Structure formats: structure tokens, C-alpha cells
């Protein structure tokens, strides 16, 4: 279940980024990151951190 939820937030974050809604992108990606960390999924946590870092301020 956590994989589905975290991936959904990640996809919503990417969609918001594509729409240049960076605030929403950051919120969704941060939520995905928190789930990945909670379930100790370091691979996807690292990928999500990279996505967050590339977002404009």
C-alpha cells in the first residue's frame, strides 16, 4: 500500500512540475519523500530528493 501511495504523490509532484506549479510539486514530492523514508526505501528517497532539489524556488 505504501508503494502505491508514495508513487501517487510522486507522480502528482511531477505533473505539478510540468504545469509549472512548483508549490504543489514541492508539497507532493515532500509527502512522497516522507513515505519513502518511513518505509526505508532509500533508492526512491534519493530520487525524490533530487527532484526536489531541481525545483525552482
5 pLDDT tier (thresholds 50, 70, 90): very high
Q: How far is Cα 31 from Cα 17, in angstroms, rounded to an integer? A: 15
At residue 1, does pLDDT exceed 80? no
Task: Give CA–CA dist 19/11, Å, rounded.
Answer: 12
Angle in degrees, CA 44, 36, 2, rounded to 5: 115
Per-residue pLDDT tens over the stretch 11-54: 999 999 999 999 999 999 999 999 999 999 999 999 999 999 99
Res 2: pLDDT = 79
Q: Quick one: pLDDT at residue 3?
A: 82
Q: Is the pLDDT confidence value at 55 over 90? A: yes
Domain spans of the chain? Answer: 2-54
What pTM was estimated for this model as a whole? 0.93
Amino acid at each position: 500500500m505504501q508503494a502505491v501511495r508514495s508513487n501517487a504523490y510522486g507522480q502528482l509532484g511531477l505533473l505539478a512540475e510540468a504545469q509549472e506549479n512548483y508549490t504543489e510539486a514541492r508539497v507532493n514530492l515532500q509527502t512522497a519523500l516522507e513515505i519513502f523514508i518511513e518505509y526505508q526505501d532509500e533508492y526512491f528517497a534519493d530520487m525524490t530528493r533530487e527532484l526536489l532539489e531541481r525545483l525552482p524556488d
